[in-house]
Structure 1
Amino acid sequence: MFQEIYSPVQKIEIDLFDNLFVKRDDLIDPYVSGNKWRKLKYILAKASNENKKHLITFGGAYSNHLVATAAAAARFGFKSTAFVRGEAVQNEMLLLCSLFGMKLIFVDRQSYKNKNLLFKSHFEDDSNAYFIDEGGASKEAVKGCTEIITELNETYDHIFVAAGTGTTAAGLLKAIQYKNLHTILHVIPVLKGGDFIKDEISKYTSISDHLTLHTGFHFGGYAKTTPELIHFIKNFTEKTGMLIDPVYTAKMFYAIADLQRKNIINANDKILAIHTGGLLGILGMKDKF
C-alpha cells in the first residue's frame, strides 16, 4: 500500500537566510502532500487491517487534509466522506474532493464541535466506517511524522515546523528525543493563542528542553494574513523557485528570517525547515495576491 517517499533536503540560497536547508515534503505527492501523507500512512494501514473501507473525516472548506484523504482513499480502494465545517459552498478544494469521489456533508459550526457525535449519528450502523480526526490527529499520524527525522542523513542545530494541531511537531519531537539529538525543535503555531500546541504535543510525547514554541507569527490567526506576509511570500518564491503557502509554511519561513535578523538564532547554526506541503491552500487566498 505504501508509496515510495521522495523528500530531498535542499539548501536555500537567499539573502534573508544563513545556512538554511529545507526538507521538501511538499514533493511527496501533488495531492497527498507533505505531512498529509505522513499522517495518513499508518491510519490507512490500520483501517485496512481492521477491514474498514469507508474513511470518515472532518475539515474546513479549504482543508488540505480533506483533499489528501479523498485522493488517498481513491488511490487505495476506500470510500470517503467528509463533514465540512460551515455553510454549503463550492470551491476548488471541494471540487477536487468530489472528483476523487468524496461525499461532502456540510454541518453548522456548533454541530461540528462534537465530531464523535456526528460520526455516531451518521455512521453507527456502517461497519465499514473508520473515524479519522480533523487533520488526521492520532498516534498513527505521530508515528508517520517521526520518520521525517529518521530519513535525515545529517544532524541540525535547529528544526522548524509550522503547527495547526501539533501532530507533526509531536512526531518530530518524539524522534529527536529517541535519537538523543542535540537539535532544538522550533514550532510555529499558525493560530492565535498557540500555547495550546504544547498540550497537544504532550498527548504523544514528553515535553523537554528540545522544544521551543514561537507564538507571535500567526499574522492574525488561522488562515489569516497581512500585506507584509504576502510580500514575503512573493519575494521568497521569486528568489528561490520554491512555493510556500500563506496558512502554514510562509509563517514558518518568516519566523526563521525574523529570529535570525534579531540574532536569536546564531547565523552559523545549521537550520532545517520542514516544508509540510499544503500548497493548495493558496487557492483560498488568491484574492490576496
Structure 2
Amino acid sequence: MFEEIYSPVQKIALHPFNNLFVKRDDLIDPYISGNKWRKLKYILAKAKAGHKTHLVTFGGAYSNHLVATAAAASRSGIKSTAFVRGEEVKNEMLLLCSLFGMRLIFTDRESYRNKHSLFEQHFANDDRAYFVDEGGASHEATLGCAEVIAELTETYDHIFCAAGTGTTAAGLLKGIRQQGLNTKLHVIPVLKGGSFIKDEIAKYTPLSDQLKLHQDYHFGGYAKTTPELIGFIKNFTAQTGLLSDPVYTAKMFYAIVDLQTQGVIDKDEKVLAIHTGGLMGLFGMKDKF
C-alpha cells in the first residue's frame, strides 16, 4: 500500500515572496495524509516482518495519527486498537477510526501517561500486537520522513516544518545530511516550551547548526489558537488557495511570513514549506471560524 506516492512541489504566490514553494504531502492520501503516511510506511513494514497483525497506538480524540493508523491497518488487512486520551466522546475523527475497524479504548489522562504500561496491561498475552507510539514517533518514522529530501529535484535555501514530537524534523535533518545539502532546516514547535524538540531530534540524528528552532509560534500551546492565527488562516487560504490546519501547518506558514518580515529569510531566497497534511484537524476547531 506504500509503493505509490503523489507529493508534488508547487510554487505559491504570496506577497512579498518570489520563491516560496510547498511540498504537498497533504495530497498523498486523504486519510493517511502527509507525514503520517511517511511515518507509518516503515512502521508497518517492521510490524509485518515481525509477523504482527495488530497495531496498537495512542492519541487524542482529534488525532490525525489515529485516523491514519486505522486506515493503514484496514488496507493492510490487520487489526488496530487505539488508547484515546480523555473521557469518551464522539466526533468526526473517531467516526472515521471506527469505520476503518479500529477499536477505541478511552483512557483517563493519568493512566495515559504510561503508554507502555497500558499496552502491557491489555496486550501482554497477544504476541501479534505491535506497539506504535503516539504520533508514530520511532526510528522507522524518521526513515520515511528522510525520503522527503531525497524526492526533491531542486535545492532550497530554507526548508520549514511544524513539529509536535520532532520525529518529522529528525527525518528531514537526516535527509539533508544524507544528500549533502547546505539547506537550513527551520522547525516550528507547536507546543509551548518547545525546546525539548531539539533533544527529541538528537535521539535519531546528530544535531548541526543547519537546524533552526523557532519557539515563539505556538499560539498558546498544542491545539491552541488565537483570533490572530485564525485570521491568518483565512487570509492565507484566500490568497493562495491552500488549506492549512490550526494545529500544525498554519503555525508554520505564519512563522515563514513573520521571519521574512524580521529579515531572518529574504523574499528572494528559495523557501520550501513541508505541508504535513492534518487538514482534518480543522474539524476540531470549526467553532473558531
Q: Could you tell me which runs of 5 or more consecutive residues in structure 1 were left unpaired when the two chains were aligned.
A: none
Superposed, 1:225-236 pairs within 5 Å as 225-236=225-236
Q: Could you tell me which runs of 5 or more consecutive residues in structure 2 were left unpaired when the two chains were aligned.
A: none
The question of whether the paired residues in 1 share the 8 Å contact of 2:70 and 2:102 is answered with yes
* Alignment pair present for 1:42 and 2:42: yes
CA distance in 2, matches of 1:87, 1:2: 34
* Alignment pair present for 1:102 and 2:102: yes
**1:231-261, CA deviations, whole angstroms, 9 ceiling, x for partnerless residues?**
1101111111111000000000000000111
Superposed, 1:5-154 pairs within 5 Å as 5-154=5-154
One-letter code aligned to 1:181 = L
* Alignment pair present for 1:189 and 2:178: no
* Alignment pair present for 1:250 and 2:250: yes
The question of whether the paired residues in 1 share the 8 Å contact of 2:17 and 2:268 is answered with no
CA distance in 2, matches of 1:203, 1:14: 36
The question of whether the paired residues in 1 share the 8 Å contact of 2:190 and 2:222 is answered with yes
CA distance in 1, matches of 2:238, 2:268: 25
Partner SS, residue 68 of structure 1: helix
CA distance in 2, matches of 1:169, 1:184: 12
CA distance in 2, matches of 1:142, 1:119: 23
What's 1:263 paired with?
263
Partner SS, residue 122 of structure 2: helix
**1:87-140, CA deviations, whole angstroms, 9 ceiling, x for partnerless residues?**
111111001000000000011111000000000000001111000000000000
**1:176-219, CA deviations, whole angstroms, 9 ceiling, x for partnerless residues?**
11222110000000000000000000000001011000000000
Partner SS, residue 23 of structure 1: strand
CA distance in 2, matches of 1:64, 1:3: 21
Percent of matched pairs sharing the same residue: 75
One-letter code aligned to 1:262 = Q
CA distance in 2, matches of 1:106, 1:177: 41
What's 2:221 paired with?
221
- Taking structure 2 as the reference length, the TM-score comes to 0.99
CA distance in 2, matches of 1:140, 1:185: 20
One-letter code aligned to 2:195 = D
**1:243-287, CA deviations, whole angstroms, 9 ceiling, x for partnerless residues?**
100000000000000011111112221100000000000000000
- Taking structure 1 as the reference length, the TM-score comes to 0.99
* Deviating 4+ runs (over 4 angstroms): none
Q: Report the alpha carbon displacement of residue 16 of structure 1 after superposing the two structures with TM.
A: 4.8
Q: How many residues align?
A: 289
Q: Report the alpha carbon displacement of residue 18 of structure 1 after superposing the two structures with TM.
A: 3.5
Q: Report the alpha carbon displacement of residue 3 of structure 1 after superposing the two structures with TM.
A: 3.3
CA distance in 1, matches of 2:85, 2:121: 16
Q: Report the alpha carbon displacement of residue 19 of structure 1 after superposing the two structures with TM.
A: 1.3
The question of whether the paired residues in 1 share the 8 Å contact of 2:14 and 2:20 is answered with no
One-letter code aligned to 2:134 = E
What's 1:167 paired with?
167
Q: Report the alpha carbon displacement of residue 162 of structure 1 after superposing the two structures with TM.
A: 0.1
CA distance in 2, matches of 1:216, 1:180: 29
Partner SS, residue 82 of structure 2: strand
One-letter code aligned to 1:217 = Y
